[in-house]
Chain A
């Protein structure tokens, strides 16, 4: 484990976006301080507001006090600053494909899970949209072990934390990802075997509890 001076994440335990950053740092063998924002809904810390004035959101990654915001951008920054092991493929075309799929995942997956768990009634349209997105990702995965190829990398890091929300989506939506998208399910299990991933992700049961609490708060139950 190498020590790099002043690495700090402003974090919130359930945020899959924060988990992306932690996985990237773990992959690089870096030690960092994980500082939790206790109250995202009422009292954001001064450091958060100062470091991310535009969006006022977690994660914020501070490297020697200099803030980097937006999880996908933070992961790219970590990869470019600490080059080993590389998270992106070496060739430009491979990198373009990785960035494309990271962008697709960013645009589609979390919102699709939200359309299911924020819905009072079981929403068939939302479920079909979600499954459609996972099937598209299965196509991108193909026969590879990881989106990055033979080795775990950038797109895998961007995608894997979102899977912690799938238990909630399955229970509320009344289906299972394993049945609908077995290839995606296998990829998920493969990633969860990595220590860098396993120690960064929360228990999906706790995420489910969080979702239920959120639904109650919003009067969805």
Chain B
């Protein structure tokens, strides 16, 4: 039995959801602590002084920051069940590559869909779909990015699924029409309890996004 686990998080964060999924996959009991990002707690600032961001995973009082670092840590420490990264070094490198691709590309292009209008928004939508199609290519005919089993890249990407509805509403387009295979994969993942209970309600995410847009002064 490993020591106390605490997750400093924000309900709508895709990055926080990654960690929630990993913890659920491993059946780890932890304390979930919802953070107010407009008024950051002393604990958050103390545990992540470098970036001052959520999620922060605290294990035995020691903080680990950055969601993919956290997922790898969880995978290494609780290695008795539900392996997320494969054992083979080449497959691990491939998994890390695609998780890194998700990090580099998805958040940025997704954000530009709701932050911009007109030509800029069209360009953001195009880039977002192109990135999803590349991911579809990598998925191929597999059930999951991890192959037969749910794994690291699935954990990295699936949280974005609950933001798709918000992006579609803001951008006036259908992601399923463009990337049916990826949506089929996402729905498959949502049948897993670890995913279903970790992802936010897409309607609530959209409401939250509308508030964000107002706060940013975006129509």
Contacts and interface: CB of A to CB of B under 8 A. Distances in A.
Most buried by B among A70, A80, A95, A96: A96
Interface bracket on B: 20 to 34
Contacts of A104: 50
A54 B97 CA distance: 10
B65 interface: yes
Interface stretch (B68-76, B120-128, B178-186): B68-76
Interface string A62-103: 010010111001101100110000000000110111011001
Contact of A95 (B66, B76, B100, B101): B76
A100 B62 CA distance: 14
A186 interface: no
B71 to A, nearest CB: 10
Contact of B90 (A69, A70, A77, A96): A77
B66 A63 contact: no
Q: Is the interface of B mostly helix, strand, loop or mixed?
A: helix
Nearest to B138: A54
B197 to A, nearest CB: 25
Q: Is the interface of A mostly helix, strand, loop or mixed?
A: helix
Contacts of A38: none
A73 B50 contact: no
A128 interface: no
B92 interface: yes
A100 B100 contact: no
Interface of A: 54, 63, 66, 68-70, 73-74, 76-77, 80-81, 92-93, 95-97, 99-100, 103-104, 136
